[in-house]
A = this chain, B = another copy of it.
Amino acid sequence: MVRLKDIAEKANVSTATVSYVINNTGNISKETREKVLRVLEELNYKPNQVARSLKNKKTRTIGVIVEDITVFNAPEIIDGINSYAEKHGFSILLTNLRIYKRIGNNYHEIEKCKDLIESAMDELLSQQVDGIIYIGVHIRDVTGLVQESNKPIVYTYCYTSSPKDYSVNFDDELATYEITNYLIEMGHRKIALISGLIDSFPSHQRFLGYHRALMEKQLLFNPVFVKTGDWQYESGYRMAKELLELQEKPTAIIAMNDVMAGGVLEACRELNIKVPDELSIVGFDDREFGIYFLPKLTTMRLPLDEMGLLSMKKMIKLLDQDKEVDYETKVKCQLVQRESVSSPSGLIV
């Protein structure tokens, strides 16, 4: 390992001088600068970041706590964080809580993970990270899970109840508003909605977007067309069956995620209903498997990489003591038009 001292000796200067030329601080004559530069090159010097960090009391390292990296949202968010971090000379210390393997779908047991999160935080703080980005597995309230600290924290794919915490999420309300509008423009008037668990924030927001679109277009809001699922395949299947056995069937169904949309498709196969000719279906999330559905699923793409990128951007602003940092950031989703939507049969648009 080559140290500053080695460079200094070989170049016949002091370590201070070498440090000056490396960091472009101080006034160094052109000759010494070039001499030092030459030796630096020659010995292939790489600064020891650990020593630097100790001296500077800054590590240019961000701790990323991800609730579960095997869940579909995580990799792209991390990708976004990484890309921005790399561009600005920051490193990522990754901690994976693996909560999915630990508590499965019982998110109410998340409290059990409090110790886990605390020790993850302690570990990262101990490593002197400059800040922490917390990535949830579901958009939900994580208030109280993460201990306070004097380092900035940015939450993404989750939120807290405190208005003074920093978060980056996507705009649920706008997303379903746009889906609903899209269906209305395609000529649909009887649009059903299969919701996720009713006590979840995204379910609520997405319902609001759906409702707003109907109201703005002065369409009838029919409560019978709103069903509550639990995000799982089977509930999509079951709710679709209920909807399709109605006296007055919907001509389109919005499922609040792609998994439930899969269930809707199965119900259609069973009831021999042609998609999209007799029923249009829109999912949510743009999971990879959607392109393998028959027909290919029209859905809402989550701006995951952008969320990651903006989280990191926000973090750096915070570290730069920027005063103009928004607490809450909402990113727009993008409709992905594939094959599961058409105008309702009999209608010529």
How far is B68's CA from A341's CA once the two chains are assembled, in angstroms?
33
B75 touches A70 (CB 8 A): yes
Q: Does A146 contact B (CB under 8 A)?
A: no
**Which residues of chain A (82-102) have a CB below 8 Å from chain B?**
82-83, 86, 91-96, 98
How does the 8 Å CB contact mask read for A294-322 relative to B, with 1 for contact and 0 for none? Answer: 10000000000000000000000000000
A292 touches B98 (CB 8 A): no
A98 touches B83 (CB 8 A): yes
A149: min CB distance to chain B, Å: 10
Chain B residue contacts of A53, Cβ below 8 A: 50
Interface core residue of A76, A78, A287 (most chain B CB under 10 Å): A78
Q: Does A289 contact B (CB under 8 A)?
A: yes
Q: Does A123 contact B (CB under 8 A)?
A: yes
How far is B293's CA from A122's CA once the two chains are assembled, in angstroms?
44
How does the 8 Å CB contact mask read for A218-262 relative to B, with 1 for contact and 0 for none? Answer: 000000000000000000000000000000000000000000001
Q: Does A46 contact B (CB under 8 A)?
A: yes
Chain A interface residues (CB < 8 Å from chain B): 46-51, 53-54, 59, 61, 64, 69-70, 74-76, 78-79, 82-83, 86, 91-96, 98, 122-123, 125-128, 262, 287-289, 292-294
Sampled A-B contacts (16; CB under 8 Å): A48-B128, A49-B128, A50-B59, A61-B127, A69-B78, A69-B79, A69-B82, A70-B79, A78-B96, A83-B96, A83-B98, A94-B94, A287-B288, A288-B288, A292-B292, A294-B294
